[in-house]
Every structure is written in structure tokens, then in C-alpha cells.
Structure 1
């Protein structure tokens, strides 16, 4: 059955975006082949049902193509980012470039960052072991300079508190995330001055 009551909450959250001067409430960063059709899809749908304006890139970026400028623009125009760290997140240089921009916006403009550790341990990201170590070995000499920056931002985010899938049901995790983001948005913008 289709629910229409989300249209009411949608209008309340769209005002949060206009108050903050940002186009999106959330930018979703994820490794497409890992979670696009399952966890990230369910999370994105749940955020939108709650009226949280969400950007998700559904284009497939091919090797050799430049990072789409609109991705960086979408991050810059977002109040926050949810980063879904999956097993092969670090093997995608596109994901690592997104992550770099997200951390840049966090440090320069107060962009909020919400990590999700989806079947990956934060210690693997911090120590860059296991699949992360394999990923950097594959990036090799070609991206040697970028790798220094990527390693730094991975460590920074791995030191943040976030959600862990562990043995939880995905639907339960999605509910917790949406509730937290919704609460944070309300807290942030309920006291913001209304534009006249």
C-alpha cells in the first residue's frame, strides 16, 4: 500500500535545506557494486520517505573518466554525508575522491559526516589492513600522491563513531540511521532563524 503521509514530513525537511542554504540534506557515498541494489537502496528510500532530501549518484563511472564535477558540487551543496564503508569501498578511487571532498567540507564548512561500517571493521580502515591494504596495492604507483591523502581521510573517518552492521538486521539499522539523521536535522534547524 502506498503511503502519502510522508509528503507532510517532506515539506518540513525541505525547509531545512532552504534554511541551511544547502540543496540536499544528505549525500550518500557508497561502493556501487557492493551495496547499490540492497542496503544503500533501502537506506535511500527510507531517508526519502522521511522527507530527507538525499543525493545518490546512480551513474556508473568508467575507468579513465574524470570525476564528475557535479558529484563534488552535490557534496558541497549537502548538509551532511552518509558514507557506507563496505568491503571494497577503498578499491574505488572514485569513492576515495568523494571521501576526500567530504572531509574537506567537514573541516572547512562544518559538513556533518555519518559513517556506516557495513561488514567492515573500522580498525581495518585505520590500520589499512586486509581488503584496504589490497586496494592500495592495486592503486599502485599510478596514484601514489593521491594515496597519501586517501589514507589520511580513511583514518580520520575510521576514528569517528558510526553504525556497525555486525549481526543486526539491515532494516533495523536503516531505521536507526534515519531516526538519528531526522533528529539531528530537527535539532539543527528548529532554532535557525526563519528567512523573511
Structure 2
């Protein structure tokens, strides 16, 4: 499975809009969660016939999120976001999170967002304390104020 995106086949539904391609989009940071919990969750969804997008490509630092990932988010019914301590240190995960939150708010997307708190307290995300505070401080040193503001807002929103 490594090195390419994977999507579990799922039943097609006549009630699904034409823009819906996946039933679930799985957002996670590969370190720790990706090789364990995310893989088990993906396999469980696959066994149930739930069409799931799980991106396995390893992008280098500074590379943009592929359009196929952004499209998969917009074309999904549900986004399961596996929030871990390492999730917030990844600018890519934070960009996915912003896209997920924006899609859930827009008229074009009917995406349901399901946060899963994996070894992290939701109040730390909401208040951006602990390891989250350190991650955002590092981002502030490297990224624009506007970018970090969007990431902070999306992070607080998902914890609510």
C-alpha cells in the first residue's frame, strides 16, 4: 500500500451526489498513528465495504498537497481526522484540516467531520497548549502569520 493512495471499494448509492467519490477521507500524521491505528481503521472500513481515501504518499518538505488529496476531501461524505501530538507539527496535516473545515462549512461540501483524539486532550487542542503550543511556535518561525492563523482557527474548530 505504501507509495500511492489507496481507496477501499464501497457500495454506490443513488442518493449520493455526483460530486461524492469517497464515503470517508482519512486524515492523519504517519508517525505513530499512520502505521498502527490508521492502518487498522482503514482495514476495518475496507472490510465493511466503505470506500475510503487514505493517502500514502510521502511528500518532501515544502511540497504542496497534491490536488488529488484536496479533491478527495471535497468529494468525501465524511472526514475522519486522527488528531495526535504529531498531527499539529505537520503543515500538510494542518492544510488538510483547513480544507476539511472549509469544506464542512461551504455549500458545495456536505462533509461530516469526525475528530478522533489519539493520545491528546481535546482541551489542549482547543486552547493550543502543551505540545500544540510548541508546534505552532515552530510554524510561526517558518510560515506567514495568515497561514498560522488559519491553522490555529481550524485546530480550535475541530476540538469544539
| TM-score relative to the length of structure 2 | 0.88
Aligned to 2:125: 125
1:28-67 to structure 2, matched below 5 A, reads 28-67=26-65
1:19 aligns with 2:11: no
Give structure 1 stretches of 5+ with no counterpart.
1-9, 160-196
- Aligned-residue CA RMSD in angstroms? 1.7
Per the TM alignment, residue 17 of structure 1 is displaced from its structure 2 partner at its CA by: 7.7
Contact 1:82/1:114 (8 A) holds in 2: yes
Distance 1:17 1:39 in 2: 31
Render the CA deviation track for 1:32-64: whole Å, top value 9, x for unaligned.
112111000000000010010000000011102
Q: 1:139 to 1:96 in 2, by over 3 A?
A: same
Distance 1:87 1:64 in 2: 21
| Structure with higher helix content | 1
Aligned to 2:89: 91
Aligned to 1:147: 148
Q: 1:76 to 1:58 in 2, by over 3 A?
A: same
Aligned residues between the structures: 149
Aligned to 1:157: 158
Distance 1:135 1:19 in 2: 38
Distance 1:97 1:17 in 2: 31
Structure 1 runs of 4+ with >2 Å offset: 16-21
Distance 1:44 1:37 in 2: 11
